[in-house]
Every structure is written in C-alpha cells, then in structure tokens.
C-alpha cells in the first residue's frame, strides 16, 4: 500500500474512499479536444468581438476557475476571494505606475501578494469547517476592504488610475488591445492547463477524497488541513493572477475589486457554469460578464436579472450549464 502520509500520494487501492479516478474511457482525449477548441476560439475571437470585452471575460473566467478549484474540488466555500483578486490588482497597478515595474514584474508582484495573503488567511480559516470557515473568509476579506479604503497607496475611493501597460519583456507593446489580448489569452490557457493538471494529479485525487469523506481520509493518515491549505493557496494565487491581469488590461485598480460583491459574483459564475466541472466556470463567467455588459442600460436592474437567472439555475439545473451539457453528452466536462 502506498504511504498515505506522503504529500500528493495516490489513494491506496484497497480503501473505500470515493474518488474520481475512474472516468469514462476516452475522457482525457475528449478534454484535449475541448482544450484545443477553446484555444482555436480564442485565436478567432478578437477578429469578431471587441478585444477589451474578451479580456474582461478571460480575467473573470480565470478568477472563476481558481475559485472552482477551491469549492468544486476542495469542498471549501470562501466568501472572501475578492480580497486576493483585489489586492493583487492594487499591487500590480501600484508597482507598474509608481515603482515603474515592467508588466510581467507587476503581474508577478500582484500574484505573489495574493499567494502570501492566501497563506496567512488560509492558515487561520482552515481551522474551522462549513459555514464557520466561510464566515471567517468573509470577515478577513472585509478587513482587506477597509484597509484598501484607508491606505494612501490605494488612492481610496479614487483607486489607482492611468496604470501604464508598458512593454512585455521590453519589446512587446501592450498598448495595442489586440496584442494585449493574446497575452491575456496565453496566460488564461496556462492557468486552465495548470488547474486541469492539479485536478487530475495524485494531489487532486486526495483532495477530492477529503472533500467527499474527510474523516475517512484522516483515518488513513492523510493530513487534511495541509491539503486544504495547499489548495487554498493555489486558488488564491490564481485568483491573484486574474486580478493582476485585470489591472493591466483596464489600467485601473479600484475598491470594486475588493468589495464583497466581487466575491459574490465569482460564486455566481461558478454555480451558473457548473461547480466541480473543469470548463464550467468559463461558461459561467462569460454569461455573467456578457449580462453585465449588454444589459448595462438597465442600471441596478442587472443585479435583479442576475439573481433571477441564479434562482432558475438552482431550481432547473443545479449542476450548472455545463453540468447539464455533460449529462447530455455523457462525458465529464
């Protein structure tokens, strides 16, 4: 039997812990085709749709994928993911504008900030389970919000504006929307591939086992809290990457990025697209961002429309849009 205390070890074969190891034959090749299809669609998209809108969709899709890694595969519901998205956005914008960092260094600065914040907050939050965990993440996120409101470097209610896009690696001019779009698309695909690898790794299988039956996993010697902290930090890091990208794309970091409603939006994106599905959060992000963009003339009524759609999703297809599609095609998505 494999040593159950080894981090990332595969589940012992003779245990009864439910896992998702046994997927239908051909699932990997099917997912590869989906991934290639997404890549091809991303290449064509900027010639059909507005690049800035597409970049917004990709940033929020990466944010939703990061959140789904925590909720869908770790079983941990965070109400405070805006803290990592927003702080990464602020540090990315500040380092690019004030410190004069290049775009890649600014994005790395924001991402590292989110990772560090996730490590500290995660170490506190994982000590509790269920609704108590969720409320702790919300409380910590509110602390970050009020810090950003009062701190001088964030610009308060004005935020950090006119963030320079600069030149990636010193020669790729990101002032061109289409060039920046392909950079964002490349980062998005990298994030998607990384999350897919995490989900299907031995670490991911143990994580699913802890999600499904934590006491049984602990009884076999798996250190559940270490796995939870690891996936929490991975999720916050990728959320930070999305926030840092967003700051460069829109040349702005504001309180909206750290507000509790941003945490609510990413939950909505994940549930609408399909919690626990690989590609569902992408669909959810596209739907929510498109609604906010094309229904903007409705003003505050957009929130009501989103609420109605959320209720319908919960009542009619609780597995989300892509979860429903996966059931039709009889393939996990």
Give the DSSP letter string of 170-200: TTEETTSHHHHHHHHHHHHHHHHHHHHHHHT
The answer to whether residue 294 sits within a structural domain is no
The answer to whether residue 291 sits within a structural domain is no
Residue ranges, the chain, pLDDT below 70: 1-24
Q: What is the pLDDT of residue 13?
A: 39
3-state helix, strand, coil in the chain (%, to 5): 70, 0, 25
Q: What is the pLDDT of residue 323?
A: 83
Count of structural domains within the chain: 1
For residue 226, the enclosing domain spans 47-258
Q: What is the pLDDT of residue 179?
A: 93
Copy the structure tokens of residue 166. 């600069």
Q: What is the pLDDT of residue 261?
A: 87
The answer to whether residue 107 sits within a structural domain is yes
Q: What is the pLDDT of residue 90?
A: 95
**CA 187 to CA 181: how far, in whole Å?**
10
pTM of the predicted model as reported, rounded to 2 decimal places: 0.88
| Strand runs labelled E in 51-97 | none
Q: Which among 163, 321, 323, 177 has a CA at the least distance from the CA of 252?
A: 163
Q: What is the pLDDT of residue 84?
A: 96
Q: What is the pLDDT of residue 306?
A: 76
Q: What is the pLDDT of residue 22?
A: 55
The answer to whether residue 108 sits within a structural domain is yes
The answer to whether residue 60 sits within a structural domain is yes
The answer to whether residue 289 sits within a structural domain is no
The answer to whether residue 307 sits within a structural domain is no
Which residues, in sequence order, are CB contacts of 49 under 8 Å at separation 6+?
Answer: none
**CA 283 to CA 298: how far, in whole Å?**
22
C-alpha distances out from residue 30 to 26, 34, 309, Å: 6, 6, 29
The answer to whether residue 189 sits within a structural domain is yes
């Amino acid at each position: 039997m494999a040593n159950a205390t080894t981090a990332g070890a595969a589940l012992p074969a003779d245990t009864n812990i439910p896992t998702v190891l046994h997927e239908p034959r051909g699932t990997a090749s099917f997912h590869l085709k989906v991934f290639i299809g997404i890549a091809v669609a991303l290449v064509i998209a900027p010639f059909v749709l507005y690049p800035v809108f597409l970049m917004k969709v990709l940033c929020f899709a990466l944010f939703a994928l990061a959140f789904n890694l925590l909720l869908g595969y770790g079983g941990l519901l965070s109400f405070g993911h805006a803290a990592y998205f927003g702080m990464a956005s602020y540090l990315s914008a500040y380092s690019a504008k004030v410190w004069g960092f290049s775009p890649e260094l600014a994005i790395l600065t924001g991402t590292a900030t989110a990772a560090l914040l996730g490590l500290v907050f995660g170490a506190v939050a994982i000590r509790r389970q269920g609704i108590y965990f969720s409320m702790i993440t919300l409380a910590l996120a509110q602390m970050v919000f009020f810090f950003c409101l009062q701190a001088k470097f964030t610009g308060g209610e004005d935020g950090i504006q006119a963030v320079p896009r600069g030149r990636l690696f010193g020669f790729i001019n990101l002032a061109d929307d289409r060039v920046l779009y392909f950079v964002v698309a490349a980062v998005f695909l990298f994030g998607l591939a990384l999350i897919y690898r995490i989900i299907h790794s031995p670490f991911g299988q143990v994580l699913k086992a802890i999600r499904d039956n934590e006491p049984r996993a602990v009884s076999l010697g798996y250190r559940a809290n270490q796995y939870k902290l690891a996936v929490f930090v991975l999720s916050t890091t990728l959320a930070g990457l999305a926030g840092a990208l967003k700051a460069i794309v829109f040349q702005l970091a504001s309180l909206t990025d750290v507000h509790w409603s941003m945490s609510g939006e990413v939950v909505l994106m994940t549930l609408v697209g399909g919690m626990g599905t690989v590609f569902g959060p992408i669909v959810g992000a596209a739907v929510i961002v498109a609604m906010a963009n094309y229904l903007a003339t409705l003003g505050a009524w957009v929130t009501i429309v989103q609420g109605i759609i959320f209720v319908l999703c919960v009542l009619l297809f609780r597995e989300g849009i892509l979860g429903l599609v996966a059931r039709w095609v009889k393939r996990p998505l």
